Amino acid sequence: MFYKGMLKTVTIGIPAYNEGLNIASLLHSVFSQSCDGFVLEHVIIASDGSTDNTIQQAELFVSQKNCIRILNNPVRGGLAVRQNQIFSESKSDILVLLQADIRISDPDFLNKIIKPIIHDQADLVAANLLPVKAVSFFAKTLEAGYFFKNNVFEVYKDGLNVYTCHGTARAFSKRLYHSLRFSKSIGEDAYSYFYCLKKNFRYFYARDAVPSFRLPESFSDHKKQSSRYMLSRNIMEQFFGAQFVREQYALPLFLLIFELFKQFVKTPIIVASHIFLVAFIYIQSVFFPQKPPSEMWEISKTSKNLS
C-alpha cells in the first residue's frame, strides 16, 4: 500500500508554439491518466510566443485543475529555451516532457514511461511512437520508411540507442533535469541522449509507452524535418566529439538490409518510393545546400491535425 508521503511527484512539461488545435486534447488525456504510485504535482505549459488560441485553450482547464501553470512568454525563444524554462520551474522527482501535437490514448502511458525512473533503473526514458494511419500515397511512403527504421532501432542494442530517443515524449529524473540544459533546439532529443551517456546517467527505451503522432503529408513539411535531422548530427559532433557521435549513430549493415528486404516484400512499390525520396533529399542537400534551418519552431502544418 502506498501513502502520499512515499509517492514520487511528477510534473508534465509541454512547450508549445501555436498548438491551439491540439493542446486541449492533450491536456484531457493527461488528466485521464491512471496515477498509480505517483502524484501529478504540476502541468507546466510554456507558450513560446503563440499567436493563436493556445493560451485560451489551456486556460479552460485552469478552473478545473489547480495544478496547471501557464507560462505565457510573449517573445519566441525556441524549443531549447522553453524546455530549459520548464526544467528551471519544476521541482518534482520526475519531469515528463511532451510535445503538444501527439495523442495519448493509453491511460497507463505515464505509469509506463516513468516506471524505470521510479524503480531507479534509469534517468532518461523515451517513449515509443506510433504514426496514425496514413491516407495519402506520400504519407504511406513515409509510413513504410518509419516502420522499417523503427524495427531496426528496436532490435539494435535492444532499443538502447540514440535513434529511439524521440523528443516527442521523454521522462527525466530530477538529478538529470536539474543538471541538463539545452543550448540548441535542433537535435535537442539526441543531445539529451548523448548528455546522459557522457555524464554517466542511465537511458531506457519504454517500448510499451506509445503515443501517436501524424507523419507529414507534404514534401515540403517532410523536407523541413529531414533538414533539421541531418544538421543535428553535425551539431552533436561539435558538442560530444565526432568519433563518439559517429559510433553511436552507426548501424549494422546486415540488419538494415534484412529489415529493408522484409518491408519490400510486403509493399514493394511504397518501399521503392521511399528509397527514391530519401535519395532525392540526400542528393539535393549535397548539390543544392540550403541555409541551415532556424532555431525557432518551423511548424509542419500537415502533421498537426490528429483528428
Give the per-residue pLDDT at 119.
Answer: 94
Give the per-residue pLDDT at 192.
Answer: 98
Is residue 90 included in any domain, yes or no? yes
CATH classification at residue 152: 3.90.550.10
Write the burial class of residue 307 (CB in 10 Å: 0-12 exposed, 13-18 middle, 19+ buried): exposed
Query: What b/e string do you get for 223-258 counting C-beta neighbours within 10 Å, with b at 16 or more?
Result: bbbbbbeebbbebbbebbeeeebeebeeeeeeeeee
Instruction: Tell me the C-alpha distance between 228 and 293, whole Å.
Output: 6
Q: Which residues span the domain enclosing 197?
A: 8-292
Is residue 3 included in any domain, yes or no? no
Three-state DSSP state, 8? strand
Give the per-residue pLDDT at 290.
Answer: 59
Return the bridge partners of 204, or none: 125
Is residue 14 included in any domain, yes or no? yes
Query: What b/e string do you get for 101-123 counting C-beta neighbours within 10 Å, with b at 16 or more?
Result: bbbbebeebbbbbbbbbbeeebb
Q: Provide the residue-wise pLDDT of the chain in tens; the chain has 307 residues.
A: 233 457 899 999 999 999 999 999 999 999 999 988 899 999 999 999 999 999 999 999 887 788 999 999 999 999 999 999 999 999 999 999 999 999 999 999 999 999 999 999 999 999 999 999 888 888 888 888 889 899 999 999 999 999 999 999 999 999 999 999 999 998 999 999 999 999 999 999 999 999 999 888 877 776 777 777 778 898 999 999 999 999 999 999 999 888 888 888 888 887 788 787 777 766 766 566 656 666 665 666 655 666 5
Is residue 282 included in any domain, yes or no? yes
Residues 180-198 have pLDDT tens digits of 999 999 899 999 999 999 9
Give the per-residue pLDDT at 288.
Answer: 63
Is residue 99 included in any domain, yes or no? yes
Is residue 305 included in any domain, yes or no? no
Give the per-residue pLDDT at 134.
Answer: 84
Instruction: Give the number of domains in the chain.
Output: 1
Is residue 304 included in any domain, yes or no? no
Give the per-residue pLDDT at 289.
Answer: 60
